DNA sequence: GTCTATATACAGATAGAC
DNA sequence: GTCTATCTGTATATAGAC
């Protein structure tokens, strides 16, 4: 009930915890988890190391927090898309586009999530892996649904799903908002690439392209921010 | 001229330097470069830390050596394929298959190469990046050649090339020789996926599949081992 | 909530005997 | 070529005053 002592006054202001998370995401992405020291982290968040420990329990848990925060909305969005959209080609496009959109617009957090799994072990690793496996399962399911419906044609559906996922995840390695390519055009192109790779066809056997479909905007399935 | 004091007697034996490299590849892949200590490295190579330094200059250069050793043969093979094979679809398949073959059969070294670039800086980073950019350029060129010949159809050839490369590189994250999928079948599937993604067609406009082509074996373009 | 100061362990790398 | 011993710096994390 009492007003906060510092910051967080106006809406849109960043809490100290968010500042810590943002600094960690940037440094973990630039230098890697083990390449980032507590002192680097504290300096980037403009805190002393002791104060830093007031806002986190330890470095490992900070990484888990970043990863969970990146994967959970992806899984929720993919689950919602599969529940909402019956047409396999449209659903797959929506999943691909949401994934690409997230990896481009939250590039560093997704990059950390995809590259620092080996820094974790034990229960922390298990928790993140469980979530990630759920998410991958939704991709596999989307591909399989299309194969069963006769819309997709691929010799190894599971292999294709993994290939598509890794292709789309790669966006976080190079995307720049300053580049020539607009975000929505990028998403559409990856959806088209996915349909092509799966040799998607309409009932007449004609190759299916994204423009034939009514794919919802990638921002449609945003999770409410914490 | 004098016989070596220890090991390296019979052909097929491993020199101490090779043992160091092998240990480094395994540990860097498992724990990451910064997650691997000099002591871990020495223990894995069954040496003391001092003796380890007799076989390497320092940890950074060891990483560079691993990366160069992984990328150089890939670049050489892709360059040879582009020089040898005029047909764009066949050349692209050969490049994809060689890449997948290398990433599956030398999984850990390629994984390290693809994930630890950020551990390098300065000239060391520049050297590796130069080589990697050359390699990526060969992929781009192969895709563009097919687009210009009217064999491939894609809205963003450069984007497609990068997507294909990242898709194929992903193999090093999960492949296991013990799995059900045979290596040659894996290579063929990725080549087919690549043709599909590029919407490759024959002169009659019929979708092209890998079985229509005369693709050389991935082992055809092996570099002689050092 | 924020600080100074520090505990304790380990990092990469080397000296110098044999 | 291999060893024991060690240098020097930095790692994560905490104690305890304010």
Instruction: Tell which residue, A22, A50, A54, A49, has the closest CA to residue A38.
Output: A49
Element holding B190 (H helix, E strand): helix B183-197
CB proximity B136 to A under 8 Å: no
Element holding B31 (H helix, E strand): helix B16-31
Instruction: Look at residue A173 in the predicted model and tell me its pLDDT.
Output: 98
Residue A176 per-residue DSSP state: -
Q: For residue B223, what pLDDT band results from cuts at 50, 70 and 90? A: confident
Q: For residue B225, what pLDDT band results from cuts at 50, 70 and 90? A: low
Cross-chain CB nearest to A170 (options B30, B154, B163): B163
pTM beyond 0.85: the answer is yes
CA distances from A86 to A129, A145, A216, B161 (A): 28, 10, 13, 31
- The answer to whether the CB atoms of A163 and B174 lie below 8 A apart is no
Lowest mean pLDDT among A219-223, B122-126, B143-147, B165-169: A219-223
With a 7 Å cutoff on the CB, does B130 touch strand D?
no
Nucleotides of D under 7 A from a protein CB: 1-6, 10-16
Report yes or no: B79 and B138 within 8 Å, Cβ to Cβ: yes
In sequence order, the 6+-apart residues with CB closer than 8 A to the CB of A97 are A187, A188, A190, A191, A215, A218
What integer is the mean pLDDT of B179-188?
96
Q: Give the tokens for residue A56.
A: 């986190």
**Residue B220, Cβ density class (10 Å: 0-12 exposed, 13-18 middle, ≥19 buried):** middle
- The answer to whether the CB atoms of A32 and B193 lie below 8 A apart is no
Q: Secondary structure of A22-88 in the HEC alphabet?
A: HHHHHHHHHHCCCCCCHHHHHHHCCCCHHHHHHHCCCHHHHHHHHHHHHHHHHHHHHHHHHHHCCCH
With a 7 Å cutoff on the CB, does B210 touch strand C?
no
CB proximity A115 to B under 8 Å: yes
Q: Give the tokens for residue A62.
A: 């900070």
With a 7 Å cutoff on the CB, does B31 touch strand C?
no
Instruction: Look at residue A13 in the predicted model and tell me its pLDDT.
Output: 84
| C-alpha–C-alpha distance, residues A80 and A191, integer Å | 18
With a 7 Å cutoff on the CB, does B49 touch strand C?
yes
Neighbours of B46 (CB within 10 A): 12
| C-alpha–C-alpha distance, residues B134 and B132, integer Å | 5
CA B135 centroid distance within chain:
10
Task: Check whether B9 has a pLDDT greater than 90.
Answer: no
The CA–C1' separation of B162 and C4, in angstroms, is: 51
Instruction: Look at residue B5 in the predicted model and tell me its pLDDT.
Output: 41
What integer is the mean pLDDT of B38-45?
96
Cross-chain CB nearest to A193 (options B163, B170, B186): B163
Task: Check whether B101 has a pLDDT greater than 90.
Answer: yes
Nucleic chain C contacts, protein chain A, residues 31-50, CB cut-off 7 A: 47-50
List the pLDDT tens digit at each of the 226 positions of chain A.
333 444 334 557 899 999 999 999 999 999 999 999 999 999 999 999 999 999 999 999 999 999 999 999 999 999 999 999 999 999 999 999 999 999 999 999 999 999 999 999 999 999 999 999 999 999 999 999 999 999 999 999 999 999 999 999 999 999 999 999 999 999 999 999 999 999 999 999 999 999 999 999 999 999 876 5
| C-alpha–C-alpha distance, residues B186 and B168, integer Å | 10
With a 7 Å cutoff on the CB, does B48 touch strand D?
yes
Neighbours of B94 (CB within 10 A): 29
Instruction: Look at residue B17 in the predicted model and tell me its pLDDT.
Output: 95
């Amino acid at each position: 009930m009492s007003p906060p002592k510092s910051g967080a006054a106006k809406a849109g202001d960043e809490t100290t915890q968010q500042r810590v998370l943002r600094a960690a995401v940037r440094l973990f992405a630039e230098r890697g988890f083990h390449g980032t020291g507590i002192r680097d982290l504290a300096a980037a968040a403009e805190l002393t190391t002791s104060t830093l420990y007031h806002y986190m329990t330890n470095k490992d848990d900070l990484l888990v927090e970043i990863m969970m925060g990146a994967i959970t909305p992806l899984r929720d969005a993919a689950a919602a898309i599969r529940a909402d959209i019956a047409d396999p080609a449209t659903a797959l496009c929506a999943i691909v586009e949401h994934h690409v959109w997230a990896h481009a617009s939250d590039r560093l957090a997704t990059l950390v999530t995809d590259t620092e799994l080996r820094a974790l072990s034990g229960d922390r690793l298990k928790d993140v892996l469980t979530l990630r496996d759920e998410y991958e399962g939704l991709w596999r399911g989307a591909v399989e649904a299309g194969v069963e419906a006769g819309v997709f044609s691929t010799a190894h559906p599971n292999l294709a799903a993994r290939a598509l996922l890794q292709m789309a995840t790669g966006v976080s390695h190079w995307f720049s908002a300053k580049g020539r390519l607009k975000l929505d055009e990028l998403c559409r192109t990856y959806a088209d690439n996915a349909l092509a790779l799966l040799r998607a066809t309409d009932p007449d056997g004609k190759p299916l392209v994204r423009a034939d479909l009514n794919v919802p905007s990638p921002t449609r399935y945003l999770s409410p921010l914490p």
